[in-house]
Amino acid sequence: MKRLQNNDYCYSKKHKCFTLKNVNKLDCFNEDEDLADIEQKYSGIFTGNRIKYEFANTSQLLFETTNACNLKCEYCAYGELYNNYGTRERDFLTFPKAKNLIDFYINLSSLLKSHNKKLSIGFYGGEPLLNFKLIQEVIDYVDNIIPDCKFSMTTNGTLLNKYIDYIVEKKFNLLISLDGNFKNNSFRVYQNGLTSFPSVFKNIKILQLKYSNYFQSCVNFSAVLHSRNSISEIIEFFKSEFDKVPKISELSPVGIKEDKEYLYNQNFKNINNSLNSANNVQELIEVMDVDVPARRALAYFLFDHSGNVFKSYNDLFNNQLIVKFPTATCEPFSRKVFLSAKGKLYPCERIGQTLDYGEVTESVVNIDFESIAFRHNEYYKKIKSQCFKCGLLDVCTKCMLQMIEKDSNPKCKSMIINDKLFQEYSAFQLSFLEKEPDLFNHIWETYNFE
């Protein structure tokens, strides 16, 4: 992709707006915010009651039905590359534990900010269908007590043929993990080393042919980019076989074992590099749309550097409830509550399982919201001095918990403390928009900031 010729801009942090730098050298309108103002703006301090409120208003209860899996993918979080998830011990979540969490959530209903809020229940693994009995038990229970509950599942697709009718009947939002064609998917193998592609592909085709309307509206795919595939190959495969565009992600850099860094570097592939090396780069950009990293970065840049943008009507009218935080770290439990197969509670499934926030047993939910607030605030103290000096303070994409779990004295590698670097960054974003002005309206109409 050809590098843009960028204009020079100045930014007012106080007024949250940009101005084209005046060639006559008038004031640059680039004043710094007072540190005390930044501290107040990004308080980042949680109370136990605030976290309890977020728990009651979560969008999703996510159950790791089991950490067992019938595959042995070479880049799996439980595999040889990573050290922050432990080892697979073939734990299976029991219904009493899942029921206790559901009941605990229901008992907090007096804290709901909207009694019309719809809850989603997700099933995760391991391979969640290895514990299909639990999935049935949870759905049977929830159907009687939570109206209009939605269900979702992330699966490797190997067992779909056994449960297709039930999945369609319950209208699951289904996310299937597949990295592309036979060669592209060759890291995803069974425990005996044989490739999983033929059986997964066959199961998906059965679902597509038998339930075409469901497949079109409720089935999506996730693909991992690595040394055996490319953006072009992935897109071509999914468009031609399923008329779908998958979510494409890079190998996670968090929790890599020191003695496996060479293997990670050997298999890692950057999305931008893979995209830009394709012969049909512009076509791929249009197909991927706001999933293109540059467009996604522009979307967050526009959102976070504008002073009159709100994610929801609740944010507009309830600003007093918002705890501003100078990273991409979610408010604990605000988006989901994740219960692992071992019965441990986490704010999401994307952080290592060394940072549990509570436990669910066969008889009780053990969660101390004040203790969680204290821990979260202590984590925040370790990084906030870096954040307040960073030019990306308003557009950070890094999760604090992923930094903390790797290092007790974390240092953010994305930190920009040089004003010149920030000016170059903002100039690039705005010049990108100047080159493609239609993106402005397109982003606001299509991009989901949640």
pLDDT score at 204: 98
Distance, in Å, from the CA atom of 44 to the CA atom of 321, rounded to the nearest integer, reads 12
The pLDDT score that the predictor gives to residue 291 is: 86
The reported pLDDT for the residue numbered 413 is: 78
Query: Which of 256-264's residues contact partners 24+ apart within 8 Å by CB, and which partners?
Result: 256/81, 256/82, 256/83, 257/80, 257/81, 257/82, 257/83, 260/80, 260/81, 263/80, 263/81, 264/81
Residues 6+ apart with CB under 8 A from 106: 145, 146
The owner of tokens 């010149």 is 420
The secondary structure of the chain in percent helix, strand, coil, rounded to multiples of 5, reads 45, 15, 45
384-440 pLDDT tens trace? 888 888 877 777 878 888 777 656 778 887 787 666 777 777 888 888 888 888 888
Bridge partners (DSSP) listed for residue 363: none
pLDDT at position 1: 37
Tell me which residues of the chain have a pLDDT lower than 50: 1-4, 23-27, 29
**Residue of 334, 331, 311 whose CA lies nearest to 111:** 334
Q: Under CATH, to which class is 48-373 assigned? A: alpha beta
Among the listed residues 67, 71, 248, the one whose alpha carbon sits nearest the alpha carbon of residue 159: 71
The per-residue pLDDT for 247 is 95
Query: CA distances (Å), 12 to each of 22, 112, 173, 305, 307, in order?
Result: 14, 37, 43, 10, 11
- Which pLDDT belongs to residue 26? 45
Domains in the chain: boundaries = 48-373
Write the CA distances from 119 to 55, 146, 149, 180, integer angstroms.
12, 8, 5, 32
DSSP code at position 186 = T
pLDDT value of position 4: 43
Of 60, 114, 97, give the one whose Cα is nearest residue 342. 97
Q: Are 105 and 61 within 8 A, CB to CB?
A: yes
Largest Cα–Cα distance in the chain? 72
Token pair, residue 29, equals 């309108």
Could you give the CA distance from residue 135 to residue 128 in angstroms, rounded to a whole number? 8
